[in-house]
Amino acid sequence: MLRQLHSLPGLFAAVLVMLLALSALLPATQPALERLDATLPAAGQVNVADLAERVARHYPGVERIERTPNGAVIVHFEQAGEPGSVRVDPFSGQGIAAHEPSDWASWSKELHRSLLLGTPGRALVAAAALCMLLLSLSGAALLAKRQGGWGKLLRPLQGNLSQRWHAEVGRLAIVGLLLSALSGLYLSAVSFELLSDGMDVEAEFPQALSTAPAAPLHSLAALRATDLNDLRELAFPAPGEPNDAYRLSTAQGDGYVDQASGAQLSFTPHNSARRLYELIYRLHTGEGLWWLGLLLGLGALSVPLMSLTGVRLWWRRRQAMPRLANNGAVQSADTVILVGSENHATWGFAKALHAALNQAGLRVHTAPMNQLRADYPRAERLFILTATYGDGGAPACASQFLARLGRIAANPRLHFAVLGFGDRQFPRFCQFARDCDAALAEHGWPRLLALETIDRQCAQAFARWGNTLGRRLGRELNLHHSPQQPPTRTWQLVERVQYGEQVQAPTSVLRFTATAPTSAGNRLQRWLGGNRSPRFEAGDLVGIVPPGSPLPRFYSLASACSDGVLEICVRKHANGLCSGFLHDLPLGGRIEAFIQANPDFRPASGKHPVVLIGAGTGIGPLTGFIRHNKARHPMHLYWGGRSPDSDFLYQPELNDYLADQRLTRLHTAFSRAGDCSHVQQRLSEDATQLRRLIDKGAQILVCGSREMAKGVMQALDQVLAPLDLDVPTLKAQGRYREDVY
């Protein structure tokens, strides 16, 4: 519901809201430009009487003096029967420049206020302001939910590029957009006379005026008592009219001043409605608050960007929402799939599972998790495929699932399996899937398969889960789903370093350089960037699409774009399609690949120590981190291989890094040499040093197989126990990051 409240106003009013925002840009900059040109006396330095005398000396036909909210003094006069306006120096009363309001600025203001359509246009502007208010409030609520609460709004953002841009820009602009929307709605209500601006209360013209000749301007007491900084406008009496008076408008109110005696004859202070109107007008326009005008202008600039990224996100969610074929009725289905997805990406996997189970001869019913029913008459299998939203929360279409589950009696015939989708960048990876799995088990539902999680929509992991499920069901089950991928570009192999053949674990360090983009999706990139390599850092991922398969295989990068090459470390697996292709690739051979950022798997900035832990090809990105440790911060590497004689990966480079102190210490373990040790043993043996490093604020980065990572976690929990710490605590602090496969 919250996402719909955010999406619908944006979709219906995107063009109108963008037009409203863009038309505000020029008016928003005017206060700052006017302030730059204005001469601003200090309080008490110039009074209105002295200013009027100086102005009258230079412009005998002066009719009125206006001081703008931004400090400019404008004189309106008549000369030789022709009207004129000039901006003057308040200290001398002498003209600085002709005052000619910009037609373009006036046009922009009218466009912003009414879209040049008069009363109907003002109604459209009010509707756009209301949409902006709804978008701002619902967007803030969505971001708070995603971040795990209002108190975590400022923590680093995660997600794909469009999501991060949309949320980051919105986070920066939210205050300005809320202010613009609320003040705009108030001004619209005033323009339609739904609220009063207080302008209808005016000072009455005095009945009793002095009949004495007009006194010199500098001697008029009421004008001498008015500081220039309080002046709004001073209107002069008509020439030769003793029964006329000066009309004085100030920040406090309006009144009349006798031209002979200089006494203030009447004064009407601004009422609360007038003061409120003027305050909100200033907050909406930045008039008198030039710095606020610039901030509002920046907020207006953010609207087109958020509109475009918002429409893109909506379109991707819509495209990801599958159209299910052969979705069976609840009453006849023997298999039920319930889906929890915030942006519809999980539905693509659900559709693949739905089709595969149908093909295997099962009758399948698929629905959102909120449609959990108390009774499935013929169902024997229940599959939960769910993402996690924000800091461990439920997606919108699964928000009622756990509450519904608590009111339903367990069905002993209906066996369940939960498959979680998430991103390991988030500290509570797949937490909602874990909560669902635990709740089903706690309520007595029989389990079909153990909980499995899929990181970053990995197609290979989904296929492996499908193979496990097929064996459990006794049916052939091939699950293939590849989410929409970024455009690829071509890379050429320029160097290969071979290891591991003597221990039957052939491993290659491969280095590629980028060629000119070739795919249709990269035409714009070719035009903008030519042959330049895309930006990436060590620890990011490269998705390689092997020939004969639509599914990319992901490898952690051992290099940054500043190294001039794309470097990966790949072990050849039996029957491995992509690893076999890469190992057989000759020098000069080409691959199609794309970069996927992995910003949370890299050393944090600062001088704290870094502990790098890996095994096998997991050393690739760790070596990349060491290579770029040019500040020589403490870095300790724990790495495990098979044999120091055949697969000591990166041995020459690591020795160089030890020599130039980019690597502080190297701890190796080899399973087929010496004591047949593993990296976990080295951690336990070095417990005292590790505790000292952790006590100094060290960050731990782990890269390698999932099994290795489990063993590392167990070993470190024992190492950390004397410090009353454990790995989950370090993860919550952002000091323990993994890239496992």
Closest to 683 in 3D by CA, of 645, 719, 635, 641: 719
Q: Tell me, what's the pLDDT at 574?
A: 85
Q: Tell me, what's the pLDDT at 528?
A: 35
Helix, strand, coil % (nearest 5) of the chain?
Answer: 45, 20, 35
Closest to 296 in 3D by CA, of 180, 159, 163, 382: 180
Spatial distance between the Cα atoms of 417 and 171, rounded to a whole number of angstroms: 38
Percent of the chain with pLDDT over 90: 53
Look up residue 696 and give its two tokens. 């100094």
Q: Tell me, what's the pLDDT at 523?
A: 45
Q: Tell me, what's the pLDDT at 517?
A: 55
User: At 455, is the secondary structure helix, strand, or coil?
Assistant: strand
Task: Report which DSSP code applies to 486.
Answer: P
- Averaged over 309-336, what is the pLDDT? 78
- Of the two residues 126 and 310, the one the predictor is more confident about is 126
Spatial distance between the Cα atoms of 87 and 78, rounded to a whole number of angstroms: 15
Q: Tell me, what's the pLDDT at 161?
A: 63
Between 77-86, 291-300, 700-709, the lowest mean confidence (pLDDT) is in 291-300
Closest to 65 in 3D by CA, of 81, 77, 82, 78: 77
How far, in Å, are 222, 264, 355, 397, 416 from residue 267 at the CA level?
11, 7, 82, 63, 81
Between 250-254, 413-417, 524-528, 575-579, the lowest mean confidence (pLDDT) is in 524-528
How far, in Å, are 17, 311, 563 from residue 485 at the CA level?
31, 19, 25
Identify the sign of the CA torsion 632, 638, 643, 649: negative
Task: Report which DSSP code applies to 625.
Answer: H
Spatial distance between the Cα atoms of 680 and 361, rounded to a whole number of angstroms: 46
Q: Tell me, what's the pLDDT at 526?
A: 42
Spatial distance between the Cα atoms of 167 and 10, rounded to a whole number of angstroms: 15
Q: Which helix (H) or strand (E) holds 737?
A: strand 736-740
Where does 268-386 have alpha helices with state H? 272-285, 290-320, 345-359
Residues 277 and 197: beta-carbon distance below 8 Å: yes
- Averaged over 205-227, what is the pLDDT? 87
A 10 A CB-CB count for 124 gives 16
Spatial distance between the Cα atoms of 221 and 422, rounded to a whole number of angstroms: 75
Strand order in the sheet with 415-422: 364-368, 335-340, 381-387, 415-422, 452-455
Between 105-114, 416-425, 478-487, 677-686, the lowest mean confidence (pLDDT) is in 478-487
- Of the two residues 70 and 103, the one the predictor is more confident about is 70
Q: Tell me, what's the pLDDT at 6?
A: 59
Q: Tell me, what's the pLDDT at 9?
A: 56
- Averaged over 207-231, what is the pLDDT? 89
Angle at 324 between CA 320 and CA 328, to 5 degrees: 150
Spatial distance between the Cα atoms of 650 and 506, rounded to a whole number of angstroms: 14
Closest to 630 in 3D by CA, of 538, 697, 567: 538
The residue behind tokens 């024992």 is 718
User: Does the pLDDT of residue 5 top 80, yes or no?
Assistant: no
User: Does the pLDDT of residue 409 top 60, yes or no?
Assistant: yes
Using DSSP bridges, classify how beta strands 381-387 and 335-340 pair: parallel, antiparallel or unpaired: parallel
User: Does the pLDDT of residue 20 top 70, yes or no?
Assistant: yes
Largest Cα separation within the chain, whole Å, is 117
User: At 660, is the secondary structure helix, strand, or coil?
Assistant: coil
Look up residue 462 and give its two tokens. 């989904």
Look up residue 96 and give its two tokens. 């600085």
Look up residue 85 and give its two tokens. 């306006």
How far, in Å, are 9, 498, 622 from residue 140 at the CA level?
15, 52, 37
User: Does the pLDDT of residue 521 top 60, yes or no?
Assistant: no
How far, in Å, are 100, 388, 405, 445 from residue 442 at the CA level?
77, 20, 11, 8
Closest to 591 in 3D by CA, of 564, 552, 537, 649: 552
Q: Tell me, what's the pLDDT at 538?
A: 95
Q: Tell me, what's the pLDDT at 525?
A: 42
Task: Report which DSSP code applies to 47.
Answer: B
Q: Tell me, what's the pLDDT at 3?
A: 56
Highest mean pLDDT among 67-76, 125-134, 484-493, 591-600: 67-76
The pLDDT tens digits of the residues spanning 671-682 come to 887 778 899 999
3-state per-residue secondary structure call for 284-316: HHCCCCHHHHHHHHHHHHHHHHHHHHHHHHHHH
Q: Which domains does the chain have, with CATH numbers?
A: 2-32+105-197+280-314 (no CATH), 40-90+202-270 (no CATH), 321-473 (3.40.50.360), 489-596 (2.40.30.10), 610-740 (3.40.50.80)
Q: Tell me, what's the pLDDT at 51?
A: 95
Closest to 304 in 3D by CA, of 170, 164, 187, 497: 170
Average pLDDT across the chain, whole number:
87
Burial (CB count <10 Å: 0-12, 13-18, 19+), residue 437: buried
Spatial distance between the Cα atoms of 302 and 163, rounded to a whole number of angstroms: 14
The pLDDT tens digits of the residues spanning 252-301 come to 999 999 999 999 988 999 999 999 999 999 998 888 888 888 888 888 88
pTM, rounded to two decimals:
0.53
What lies within 8 Å, CB to CB, of 408 at 6+ separation is 372, 374, 443
Spatial distance between the Cα atoms of 466 and 458, rounded to a whole number of angstroms: 13
pLDDT band at 212 (very low <50, low <70, confident <90, very high): confident
The residue behind tokens 């991103």 is 423
Strand order in the sheet with 553-556: 553-556, 541-545, 590-596, 489-499, 507-514, 566-571
Highest mean pLDDT among 104-113, 213-222, 614-623, 672-681: 614-623
Between 170-184, 310-324, 427-441, the lowest mean confidence (pLDDT) is in 310-324
User: At 32, is the secondary structure helix, strand, or coil?
Assistant: helix
- Of the two residues 125 and 231, the one the predictor is more confident about is 231
Spatial distance between the Cα atoms of 702 and 710, rounded to a whole number of angstroms: 10
Spatial distance between the Cα atoms of 693 and 637, rounded to a whole number of angstroms: 13
Q: Tell me, what's the pLDDT at 413?
A: 92
Q: Tell me, what's the pLDDT at 519?
A: 46
pLDDT band at 96 (very low <50, low <70, confident <90, very high): very high
Angle at 437 between CA 434 and CA 443, to 5 degrees: 135
Per-residue exposure over 382-418, b if at least 16 CB sit within 10 Å of its own CB, e if not? bbbbbbbbbbbbbbbbbbebbeebeeeeebeebbbbb
User: Does the pLDDT of residue 345 top 90, yes or no?
Assistant: no
Q: Tell me, what's the pLDDT at 527?
A: 37
Angle at 210 between CA 205 and CA 214, to 5 degrees: 100
Look up residue 603 and give its two tokens. 């050393």
Spatial distance between the Cα atoms of 342 and 145, rounded to a whole number of angstroms: 12
Catalogue the E-assigned strands of 546-642.
Answer: 553-556, 566-571, 590-596, 610-615, 635-641
Residues 288 and 16: beta-carbon distance below 8 Å: no
Percent of the chain with pLDDT over 70: 92
Q: What is the residue type of 45?
A: Q
Can you name the residues that pair with 625 across neighbouring β-strands?
none
Q: Tell me, what's the pLDDT at 7?
A: 60
